[in-house]
Structure 1
């Protein structure tokens, strides 16, 4: 039962959870952030959803580089976390794929395995996601140095994934049933659009400052 699926009450809860996220950033000393809100119709039912986003800097250790993070929260869905800058691919020494990414072009981070219920709709987003992002960045930097991912996690298609992921139980779904679903705008589509807009704005500001 997710937040945002029960009309006005869900909307209030969604706004409240995002305010709690901003409060968490303030308590953590992360005060220089950008934020925004849009409304879009998402999913098969084309439900009007509130989309909140916040952009802030994180440094996993005192010796680390600074990463600009984009966190997108859409009511009824677990948050989406991206690294806006620097370009993670440019930090690599070779063409080895970066572990635990959902999107290798936008650097959308894989922070928890969804089928283990590690993310809770009833806890503060900041208390869950900001430490997860810091841990991911820490192990990413270690991976850059050693070539070994020591942060654990579940890889697509491994034994745990095949046991818990519902998609493997639906492999026999007929094509006719798939056609009934049709095409619709997903939450990930909208989160990706926000990433694209924010990255474009950052690059434009960088060019302007360098001129």
Structure 2
């Protein structure tokens, strides 16, 4: 009988970078590889959330077992009226999109980027276009403008 103190923890390794890249290239033949190594890569692809949407070039950085980051790289994203920063991003200046919460483990390194990160980025861009027109973020996640809800409560009184 093994002691609980000496049990090995199972390590869950993410999908190898070469396999993620191969799957991405099959789904998006126009994928441009910017950098690659045995455990990471940087690529750019073009997304268009709806047929009426603009086209956006995004950069995806994948580091096996660590993270996946997504940036809009081909244009400067505009701000909605009366807003000072982009909604739901890690960095407004770098246009680093917030697609999932690492603390909630919504994305794990064994998941396919083509089935998770890319659809999430496309969805983010769709909600960005709505936000640009209306100034309200419909995409969920954390509240970007917490005082806005308080203002509504106090105005209704």
SS at match of 1:85: coil
Identify which of 7, 21, 24 aligns with 1:21. 24
Q: Deviation of residue 58 (structure 1)?
A: 0.7
Question: Structure 1 CA distance, aligned partners of 2:66 and 2:143?
Answer: 21
Q: Deviation of residue 32 (structure 1)?
A: 2.1
What residue in structure 1 maps to residue 31 of structure 2?
Answer: 33
Question: Structure 1 CA distance, aligned partners of 2:70 and 2:27?
Answer: 16
Question: Structure 1 CA distance, aligned partners of 2:53 and 2:13?
Answer: 36
What residue in structure 1 maps to residue 66 of structure 2?
Answer: 77
Does residue 1:63 correspond to 2:52, yes or no? yes
SS at match of 2:67: coil
The total of aligned residue pairs comes to 135
> Contact 1:58 / 1:69 at 8 angstroms: preserved in 2?
yes
What residue in structure 1 maps to residue 77 of structure 2?
Answer: 88
| Alignment TM-score, normalising by the size of structure 2 | 0.75
What residue in structure 2 maps to residue 125 of structure 1?
Answer: 113
What whole-Å deviation, never above 9, does each CA across 1:106-140 have from its counterpart, x for those lacking one? 10100011111110222211111111001100000
Question: Structure 2 CA distance, aligned partners of 1:73 and 1:35?
Answer: 12
| Alignment TM-score, normalising by the size of structure 1 | 0.57
Show the 5 A alignment for 1:1-211. 1=11, 3=13, 13-25=16-28, 31-39=29-37, 50-89=39-78, 92-155=80-143
Question: Structure 2 CA distance, aligned partners of 1:76 and 1:83?
Answer: 23
Question: Structure 1 CA distance, aligned partners of 2:62 and 2:87?
Answer: 23
Q: Deviation of residue 2 (structure 1)?
A: 5.2
Q: Deviation of residue 17 (structure 1)?
A: 2.2
Structure 1 alignment gaps of length 5 or more: 5-9, 26-30, 40-48, 159-211
